[in-house]
Structure 1
Amino acid sequence: MCSRCRACRKSLRHCVSMWTRPARSAACSKPASMIDRTFIDELASKAPTPGGGGASAYCGALAAALSSMVCNLTLGKAAYSAVQDEVQDCCDQLSALIDHLIELVEEDANAFAPLAAAYGMPRETPEEQQAKEEALQTALIAACDVPLSIMQTCTHVIELAEVLVEKGSRMALSDTGASLLFAKAALQGASLNVVINCASMTDRDRASMYQEEMRNLLNAYTMRADRAYETVVKELER
């Protein structure tokens, strides 16, 4: 891993962890001062990574962090004494999901590197053409596996946010709604990487398998996120 990737990963963990601590420090009164722009500046640059896949994973981590915040605002409150165990379980799961999604930012970049290298291989001779095609097809598999993993992880964030719509602090209901929107956006963003990489696969059976899983996740969980979000809006408007 290059020094830039390490810096990005460190800044991601720092930013997310600062916002998911049970008690916020005085420094949190100035959120902008907490943000390390390393990842954002790299994303905005011409660099091949991070890209849409990494940004989707980061978006998913933010979704999980928002739901984790809701858990922390619910835990220890007498009004929610009946759901403390369930909310604590949600909090524990969300902490693991945050870590995994941050790891997937890096994995997405690592998966893109051999794909970019394969696209850049020469193809002047039949042997070069064959070598390029073999390298490309191998790289496309990893380039589909990672965004599918991002999607799968985001479905768990949506499931936990659904629980918090019902059992989380009413004072943080809008944050639960934002978590649902972020998780849905991450799900949809990651799906686009599956679409574009499947289009270049010569193994159409494998491509169809990836596409089917992608569509199943997308159809089921965008609907669930939308339904839970609508519940949030109705509750906020009451």
Structure 2
Amino acid sequence: MLEGKFNYLSWKLEEYFENLSSKTPTPGGGSVAGVTGALSSALLSMVGNFTVGKKKYKEYEEEIKELLCENGTLRKKLENYIEKDSEIYQNIMKYTKENPSLAQKFLKESANLHLDIAKSSLRIIRWNRVLVEKGNRNLISDVGISAVIAIATFYSAKINAWINMKYIEDEDFCKMVCKEFEEIEKEVKEKGKKVFEDVMKMIERR
């Protein structure tokens, strides 16, 4: 396997954007799915942190603290995927001709990575549902933005998984991944739409 490591997290934003826009395969759309997921997660944490410690929301404090802890772990994983996707892609490109069976392994690894990003986006949307009801009202717009970014993250992950499965020979594996995405998508659509609609109603009432 290749030893090359990608250190996007140590880059300045401008450097990442410049490399993303350049004529190089990495970083690409897979890495971006990790970025959007991490952004959605980080924005969710901001709302939670502005909720904890406020007398108005004291009855929800322990629940929000637990949410923040779980979401913090989730965000770190998504940040790791920003770089991990490029590492996997690098290995797919190397072994496609050199060792096709190993390339298949990395294609599956990539599909699984994006399935996990999809699952993570749903978790974020579920937490956004909690914050619509129990989060700091002054940051309700941030709850909505976190949710719509999470929705975009889900569909980015789906696209990335599908392009990998186009080349995966294991039909049973592909069926399993498709089934899981289908189940996740139903809830993403339902809960994501509800968060957006509720946030817009709350903003319009002001």
> What's the TM-score, normalizing by structure 1?
0.80
Matched residue, 2:126: 159
Offset of 1:229 from its aligned partner? 1.2
Contact 1:198 1:207 in 2 (8 A): yes
For the pair shown, the structure with the greater C-alpha radius of gyration is 1
The size of the alignment, in residue pairs, is: 203
Q: Letter of the 1:68 partner, please give it.
A: S
Distance, in Å, in 1 between the alignment partners of 2:139 and 2:15 is 29
Offset of 1:138 from its aligned partner? 2.2
Give the 4+ runs in structure 1 shifted more than 6 A. Answer: none
Counterpart selection for 2:102 from 112, 119, 135:
135
The 5-angstrom pairing of residues 1-238 of structure 1 reads 2=4, 5-6=6-7, 8-11=8-11, 36-119=13-96, 121=97, 131-132=99-100, 134-238=101-205
1:156-203 per-position Cα deviation (integer Å, ceiling 9, x unaligned): 111111110110011100000000001111111011111111122222
Structure 2, gaps ≥5 residues long: none
Q: Letter of the 1:192 partner, please give it.
A: I
Alpha-carbon RMSD across the aligned residues, in angstroms, is: 1.7
Offset of 1:2 from its aligned partner? 4.7
Structure 2 residue matching 1:37: 3-state secondary structure? helix
Distance, in Å, in 2 between the alignment partners of 1:103 and 1:140 is 18
**Which structure's relative contact order is higher, taking Cα pairs within 8 Å and 6+ residues apart?**
2
Offset of 1:108 from its aligned partner? 1.0
Q: Letter of the 1:197 partner, please give it.
A: N
Distance, in Å, in 2 between the alignment partners of 1:156 and 1:46 is 34
Contact 1:111 1:146 in 2 (8 A): no
Contact 2:4 2:87 in 1 (8 A): no
> What's the TM-score, normalizing by structure 2?
0.91
Distance, in Å, in 1 between the alignment partners of 2:193 and 2:30 is 22
Contact 2:121 2:150 in 1 (8 A): yes
Q: Letter of the 2:92 partner, please give it.
A: L
